[in-house]
Structure formats: C-alpha cells, structure tokens
Amino acid sequence: MQHLKGKKAVVSGGGSGIGLAIVNRLAAEQIKTVVADLHFPDDIPPNSHPFICDVTAAPAVDALYNDVHKILGAPNILICSAGQGIHEKLTEGDPEKWQQVINVNLMGTLRMIRAFVPGMLEAGQGDVVIISSVAAGQSYAYGGVYAATKTALEVVADTLRKEVLPVVRVTVVAPGVTDTAFFKNTISGFQTVEDIGYGAISADDVADAVLYALNKPHGISVNNITVRPTGQPF
C-alpha cells in the first residue's frame, strides 16, 4: 500500500474488536501506531505502542497527546474507534448510563479530533477515520441513545470534512452487525449475533474498509463506507 508508507497513526479503542483489527492491519503495513484504550491484549503487534487512555477525560487525552508526540511526533492518521453500546428503553433506562455512552461515543471522538487534527492542518495533510454504525439515522426500540450518538458522529464527521478540506480527509466507516465482544460489553441489555439473526461480518472486514480509504491517493477522498452482512436489512 504505497500511499501509507511512512505514516504514523493514533487509534482510540484499539485494544479490542474493530479497533484492534485496524491496529493489526496498520502494523502489517509497518505504520507506527499509538493504541489508546483502557485494556490491551498480550499480543499487541510490532510497531504499536499501547497507552492507557480514557477518552472521556480531558487530562487523559492531554497526556496521550504528549506521549504520542514523544513517541511518534505529529500523527498523520487518527482513527476514532472507541465506543460502547447500550440497550435500554427511553422510558425506563438510567440517564447516568446514557451520559456515559454519550461521553465515550461522541465526546471521546470530539476530544481526539480537537487534540490531533490541528497538527494535521499545520502539517498540510492527514486522515481522520470515524467508526460509526448502521444505527446512525435509524430509530429502533431500546436503541435510542446509542443510535443518537452515532447519528451525531456522522454530523460531526461531515462538519469536520467541510472545515478541514482540502488538507485533511475525513472518512466514516459504518459497520453492521460485527462479530466482536461489543454486544457482550454493552452497559445494559444483552444481545448476541445469533439473537439478531442477520449473520455477521468480522472486525477484519471493517479494517479492510478503513485501509481501502486510507490508501487512496491524497487527492481522492472516500467519505462514507457501509459494510454489513448481506442479510442485514438496515
């Protein structure tokens, strides 16, 4: 992937699931990557540097910024993959849990953008990839809070695209049902891939979509990619 040679990346939520699959793909392309998460597997790939970071906390993101610049210098690629699910009725759920999901999914991404994108603008080039969901723009029972955060992320992404063009490219990747620990780790409610019944894609399938966008020549932007099981109706 010739257009990725020499790039440096930061991946939030890179310790598991889709984020880790992206980190593995970046490592395979010999891209030096800082991985920001709260937990990590034992086998973080070469060229990857794990840093414990709670993206909902301003001091943690500030510390991450400083560590990234010590290890990598200014990154060329920012991938915002940190996210959390919740499955609650709006008339019965816990607003404190809703706030936690908003802080992770929406505010965490905004904090990462605010920290790292100004450096890309100063350098004259960069890529931002935001992992959204097919839930964006969709209303469904028990999914109001989660879907709202993903809808907001897509508005944020397109606003960012307009604010930073033509210097920085912005890509939204919206996966459908993906076979990761996401459903197991939802704050409330419990679903499985089997319960949903549409089949599932793998985290590697999503990572492939991310690398497809990143590897385009800088004058070409892939702004939106949806990847889902063929049997998923939305």
Residue 191 reports pLDDT greater than 90: no
How many independent structural domains does the chain possess? 1
Please report, for the domain that includes residue 190, its CATH number.
3.40.50.720
Q: What is the pLDDT of residues 15-34, one digit of tens each?
A: 999 999 999 999 999 999 99
Q: pTM (2 decimals)? A: 0.95
Q: Who's near 214: CB < 8 A, 6+ residues apart?
A: 1, 3, 4, 7, 77, 127, 129, 171
pLDDT at 190 over 80: no
Please check whether residue 14 lies inside any domain of the structure. yes
**Which 3-state string (H, E, C) describes the chain?**
CHHHCCCEEEEECCCCHHHHHHHHHHHHCCCEEEEEECCCCCCCCCCEEEEECCCCCHHHHHHHHHHHHHHCCCCCEEEECCCCCCCCCCCCCCHHHHHHHHHHHHHHHHHHHHHHHHHHHHHCCEEEEEECCCCCCCCCCCCHHHHHHHHHHHHHHHHHHHHHCCCEEEEEEEECCECCCCCCCCCCCCCCHHHHCCCCECHHHHHHHHHHHHCCCCCCCCCEEEECCCCCCC
Domain assignment present for residue 170? The answer is yes
Reported as a single tens digit per residue, the pLDDT across 39-89 is 999 889 988 999 999 999 999 999 999 999 999 999 999 999 999 999 999
In a domain, 234, yes or no: no
Average pLDDT, the chain: 95
Residue 229 is predicted with a pLDDT of: 96
Is residue 91 domain-resident? Answer: yes
Mean pLDDT value across residues 105-130: 98
Within-domain flag for 232? no
65 has catalytic annotation: no
Do the domain assignments include residue 233?
A: no
What's the confidence (pLDDT) of residue 1?
59
Residue 122 has pLDDT above 70, yes or no: yes
Residue 65 structural domain: 2-227
Q: Which tokens hold the place of 233?
A: 């109706």
Q: Which of 65, 140, 142, 146 is catalytic?
A: 146
203 pLDDT higher than 80: yes
**What percentage of the chain has pLDDT greater than the value 70?**
100
